[in-house]
Amino acid sequence: MIRLEHVTRVFDGTTAVSNLSFDVTDGSVCVLIGPSGCGKTTTLKMVNRLIEPSSGAVFVNGQNTRNLKAEQLRRSIGYAIQSVGLFPHMTVMDNIGVVPRLLHWEKARVLARCEELLDMVGLSPAAHAAKYPHQLSGGEAQRVGVARALAADPPILLMDEPFGAVDPLTRERLQTRFLRIQRKLRKTVMFVTHDLDEAIRLADKIAILDSGRLIQYDTPEVILSHPASRFVKDFVGTDRALKRLSRISAVKFLRPAVSIRVDVNVAQAVAGRDRYRWFWVIDENDRLVGWADRDDLQQGATVHEGAHLADPGDIAVEQDATLREALSRMLGLGFKYVPVVDEQGILLGELALEDVESATREGD
């Protein structure tokens, strides 16, 4: 657990953080958010003593961090930042293994841990382990940064805008990957972001800061439904019902999907399905490969000839998606339904616009 007690930090007469007190419980994600200059990163850095408090105390697992050696403390806390900070002269494997090597792990153990983490963050060890940072995309580099932060299996993870330097689609996918990892590992996480949607999606609790002061600290649901002040109300915006969709899992509203095989003839595919106009198209392994309109199907002999083939990543959402992501995909495609797939692209079902609308109304 992390506990801050009346923590203040002053730089050259300017108070960056003022009398800050809150707890982060074991296995939870606390997101720090607020306007630029509100003290988010300063607060984060005081946890691992990259910045020392001017007054007050920070406790990690019941111990005052002032009583611990800084290097000992930092080796027990994972740290991931926006600029990633990978060592350019080291391979991906060597970057991930930095802290385990400092802890004198055996070479075989370091290698096994690096391969395990690459797989966990969705990167192939065979394809990425020997690459250098300049050979990675932005999203790949961010994943390696997270893997490096987790390398020594620290109980605490500090993340400072870790997904802030990538495009929105990559950011969404990194968030999904982070949530999967967190569900598995249950680390205690402090996470800094400027993105309220990201905070709502990832946080167990959100700390809203302004001018170094804590304005509200609560669950995303409470902050959205009961903002503590005018500042918080303005900060979260008027579309609070829409933002709540980021807290609702898409699979909660999963419906059976009508699908047809891409490798069969049209007559066989639509037999007995006269009441359906639209179909999701799958391959022989049940992976989504596109969609089809009954009228278009009639133009060819096989489903393949009449189908609109597409990558699942362009037309579907994964089972970890939120209703907000599903709604965004529907609006982007102009569909009233969106298919849901697993990590291998296998079709699991679909979501309907009416269900998203219903969830929005329930949040009002």
pLDDT of residue 356: 87
Q: Calculate mean pLDDT across residues 101-110.
A: 91
Q: Are 16 and 9 in contact (CB under 8 A)?
A: yes
pLDDT above 90 for 276: no
Q: Determine the longest span between alpha carbons in the chain, in angstroms.
A: 79
pLDDT of residue 295: 85
pLDDT above 80 for 293: yes
pLDDT above 80 for 205: yes
pLDDT of residue 294: 86
3-state SS class at 226: coil
Q: What percent of the chain has pLDDT over 90?
A: 59
3-state SS class at 129: coil
Token pair 């999203």: residue: 139
Q: Give the chain's end-to-end CA distance (angstroms, integer).
A: 34
pLDDT of residue 299: 77
pLDDT tens figures, 115-134: 999 998 888 999 999 999 99
pLDDT tens figures, 314-326: 899 988 888 988 9
Q: What percent of the chain has pLDDT over 70?
A: 98
Single out the residue of 298, 286, 299, 300 nearest to residue 339, CA to CA: 286
Domains of the chain: 2-243 (3.40.50.300), 251-362 (3.10.580.10)
Q: Calculate mean pLDDT across residues 209-228.
A: 94
pLDDT tens figures, 72-87: 899 889 998 876 678 8
CA distances from 195 to 129, 192, 208 (A): 31, 9, 12
pLDDT of residue 363: 53
Structure tokens at 192: 């800094």
Angle between helices 138-150 and 107-120 (to 10 degrees): 130
pLDDT of residue 38: 94
Q: How confident is the model at residue 246 (pLDDT cuts 50, 70, 90)?
A: confident
pLDDT of residue 253: 92
- Residue partners of 138: CB distance under 8 A and separation at least 6: 165, 166, 167, 170
| Residue 54 CB burial class (10 angstroms; 0-12, 13-18, ≥19) | middle
- CA 225 to chain CA centroid, nearest Å: 23
Q: Are 266 and 297 in contact (CB under 8 A)?
A: yes
pLDDT of residue 180: 87
Q: Calculate mean pLDDT across residues 51-57.
A: 96
Single out the residue of 228, 207, 220, 231 nearest to residue 43, CA to CA: 207
Amino acid code (one letter) for 30: C
pLDDT tens figures, 18-29: 999 999 999 999
Q: How confident is the model at residue 108 (pLDDT cuts 50, 70, 90)?
A: very high
CA distances from 191 to 64, 114, 125, 238 (A): 21, 23, 27, 24
Mean pLDDT score of the chain, rounded to an integer?
90
pLDDT above 80 for 216: yes
